[in-house]
Amino acid sequence: MSEPVLDIRDLRVSYGDGDPAVDGLSLTVEPGEIVAVVGESGSGKSTAALAVLGLLPTSASVSGAIELAGQNVLELHGEQLRKLRGQGAGMVFQEPMTALNPLLRIGFQLAETIRNHDPKRRRHKYYYPRCVELLKRVEVPEPEARLKQYPHELSGGLRQRVMIAIALAARPKLIIADEPTTALDVTVQQQILDLLRDIRDTEGTATLLITHNMGVVADVADRVLVLRSGRLVEEASTAELFSSPQATYTRELLAAVPRLGAGEHADAVAAPEKPVLALTDIVVEYGGKRAVDSVSLSVGPGEIVGLVGESGSGKTTLGNCALGLVTPKSGRVEVLGGPLPRGTGRSARAVRRQIGAVFQDPASSLDPRMTVGQTVAEPLVMHTSAGRSERRRRVRELLDAVELPESLMERYGHELSGGQRQRVSLARALVLGPKLLIADEPTSALDVSVQAVVLDVFKRLHEEFGFGCLFVSHDLAVVDSLCDRAAVLRGGELVEQGPAARVLREPSHAYTQALLLSSPVPDPAVQRSRRDALTDVDPAA
């Protein structure tokens, strides 16, 4: 038996006098093995990963043992620890846009990583061939051109590939991937998973995968550890864990995962005659490049229409057209039976108060200077003459509707969890009782248990308020469980639309078939067969 690349024994991490963030965790990762650590937000997954590289803040109290590539991490400092971070393990962070320096070109950042582990420390241009080689290794197209670009010029999938290239730069024995596919669409997610699998198979690099996506775990992991509140509740091989989970919490996690084909749908739904949103022949261009190409789509009263497609397909652009945040080059946008009004006049305000919006990232869409109460009440201040007591009463009603306690009213957004922030966004969007809601990826960054709670709240609010909704998502199982109709975008073109039951279960277009096969399911055996079937599908057909 070879020595493990990573050996963690009885790891404890705590902050102050509170409960420990990690409590007695032990795990090993063998060479060439992919080990997944799963659990909901706050379970200690990322804390354990940061402890492996000595990246925890100085306020953290750490005990136990962490051996990485034969070295005791907790005994290393300064230059020794810096070398180990590249050569012992490379890190792939959850959000590459914040992990990459926005002021530096991709080539400089990649060369800097190589240079930091070269004892000769030569000029950056010396490392150019190695940079190109690394980008080719992670399948970045046109690598020479990408080296001259800045992070904001790349898509989310390309940025994540660059992060993996940086992690591989010093030829580490272990890759620590912290939620590497969060918020990526299913096709890009599948490409990243294939890349991690290929790195394991060709270079023998071990991987510690931190994730809340059980479909991803079923797709790539050899072993799985389940954490809850910092403690290990179950450890098993991937096949064993999914076929016969032992811990009650593990069974709850698996039960919370939305599954394709499990949604209940009424009989086939036709397009509405009197829609609350009608997009007709919409064309949007940016810098002469067409982002949306002659798309027509409608949402009826009380109807939820799912809009799916990979990154860059035009989903968010269409949603922004409906909100008046993007002006199409041509085509018509009609809401509530009339043209979407422009300007700030009384008629425009009367229409806009009947349109709500929930954005993908509540951490950035909520004003950090406002309390929860002020955030939810802001639309009442802008669009009504309600007094302070009436606004406070309405805010309490909405917080109760989204299952948040009144005690949160005086807190700020950064003091809430991701799931709580998203429910505040829902409350704010619905406080005026809108007839149309635009929801852009409202659950993409949430772990499965929190996502299940938010979706349950969303369904109940939809039944109560009866709003029509354009639901933008890359999670096909969520769309299947929630939506009446589904529309599929590819490269700005609408390739398929119809009742969700038909589109997501009996698709007619090859691209939709490829999307469905790329969406991982929480069953290792089924996932293997889907991956094999994906190779036989031509999305361009």
What is the model's pLDDT at position 268?
A: 54
Say which range, 214-223, 225-234, 363-372, 500-509, has the weakest mean pLDDT.
363-372
Q: Write the DSSP symbol of residue 78.
A: H
Domain-embedded: residue 359: no
Please check whether residues 140 and 248 belong to one and the same domain.
yes
Domain-embedded: residue 362: no
More confident: 237 or 351: 237
Point out the domain boundary residue: 256, 291, 326: 256
CA distance 490 to 510: 11
Q: Write the DSSP symbol of residue 123.
A: -
pLDDT surpasses 60 at 1? no
Per-residue pLDDT averaged across 254-276, rounded?
73
Residue 157's pLDDT band, with cuts at 50, 70 and 90, is confident
Task: Give yes or no for a contact between 315 and 507, defined as CB atoms under 8 angstroms apart.
Answer: no
pLDDT digit string (tens) for 360-369?
A: 777 777 888 9
> Dihedrals φ, ψ of 379, to 5°?
-60, -30
More confident: 535 or 151: 151
Domain-embedded: residue 460: yes
Please check whether residues 443 and 387 belong to one and the same domain.
no
Owner of token pair 């929630």 = 482
Burial label, 234 (beta-carbon count in 10 A; 0-12, 13-18, 19+): buried
Please check whether residues 319 and 205 belong to one and the same domain.
no
What is the model's pLDDT at position 152?
A: 87
pLDDT surpasses 80 at 41? no
What is the model's pLDDT at position 527?
A: 81
Mean of the per-residue pLDDT values of the chain: 88
Dihedral angle computed from the Cα positions of residues 463, 464, 468 and 471, in that order, rounded to the nearest 10 degrees: -70
Task: Give yes or no for a contact between 487 and 497, defined as CB atoms under 8 angstroms apart.
Answer: yes
pLDDT digit string (tens) for 383-435?
A: 888 888 999 999 998 888 888 888 889 988 888 877 788 888 889 998 998 99
Nearest Cα residue to 335 out of 314, 316, 317, 356: 356
- The CATH code of the domain that includes 517 is 3.40.50.300
Point out the domain boundary residue: 256, 272, 303: 256
Please check whether residues 167 and 283 belong to one and the same domain.
no
Per-residue pLDDT averaged across 372-377, rounded?
92
What is the model's pLDDT at position 94?
A: 75
What is the model's pLDDT at position 537?
A: 60
What is the model's pLDDT at position 213?
A: 84
Owner of token pair 């001259």 = 148
Nearest Cα residue to 352 out of 233, 438, 454: 438
Domain-embedded: residue 197: yes
Say which range, 96-100, 238-242, 415-419, has the weakest mean pLDDT.
415-419
pLDDT surpasses 90 at 51? yes
Q: Are strands 277-286 and 330-335 parallel, antiparallel or unpaired?
A: antiparallel
**Relative orientation angle of helices 186-203 and 156-168, to the nearest 10 degrees:** 20
pLDDT surpasses 90 at 122? no
More confident: 82 or 223: 223
pLDDT digit string (tens) for 466-476?
A: 999 999 988 88
Please check whether residues 330 and 379 belong to one and the same domain.
no
pLDDT digit string (tens) for 168-219?
A: 999 999 999 988 887 677 878 888 888 999 999 998 999 999 988 888 899 9
pLDDT surpasses 80 at 267? no
Please check whether residues 488 and 464 belong to one and the same domain.
yes
Tokens of 513: 């078939």
Domain-embedded: residue 361: no
Please check whether residues 246 and 142 belong to one and the same domain.
yes
Domain-embedded: residue 316: yes
What is the model's pLDDT at position 453?
A: 82
Please check whether residues 114 and 55 belong to one and the same domain.
yes
β partners of residue 71 = 68
pTM above 0.85, yes or no: no
> Which domain covers residue 286, as residue numbers?
261-354+434-541
pLDDT surpasses 80 at 532? no
**How many domains is the chain partitioned into structurally?**
3
What is the model's pLDDT at position 93?
A: 85
Q: How many CA atoms lie within 13 A of 12 on its CB side?
A: 11
Residue 492's pLDDT band, with cuts at 50, 70 and 90, is very high
More confident: 288 or 270: 288
Please check whether residues 44 and 135 belong to one and the same domain.
yes
What is the model's pLDDT at position 266?
A: 61
pLDDT digit string (tens) for 296-317?
A: 999 999 999 999 988 778 898 9
Domain-embedded: residue 1: no
Please check whether residues 140 and 203 belong to one and the same domain.
yes
Per-residue pLDDT averaged across 59-76, rounded?
92
More confident: 268 or 142: 142
Q: How many CA atoms lie within 13 A of 144 on its CB side?
A: 1
What is the model's pLDDT at position 78?
A: 87
Please check whether residues 334 and 482 belong to one and the same domain.
yes
Q: Are strands 330-335 and 338-339 parallel, antiparallel or unpaired?
A: antiparallel
Please check whether residues 346 and 475 belong to one and the same domain.
yes
Domain-embedded: residue 365: no
Q: Are strands 304-308 and 231-237 parallel, antiparallel or unpaired?
A: unpaired
pLDDT digit string (tens) for 432-457?
A: 989 999 998 888 767 777 788 888 88
Name the percent of the chain lying above pLDDT 90: 48
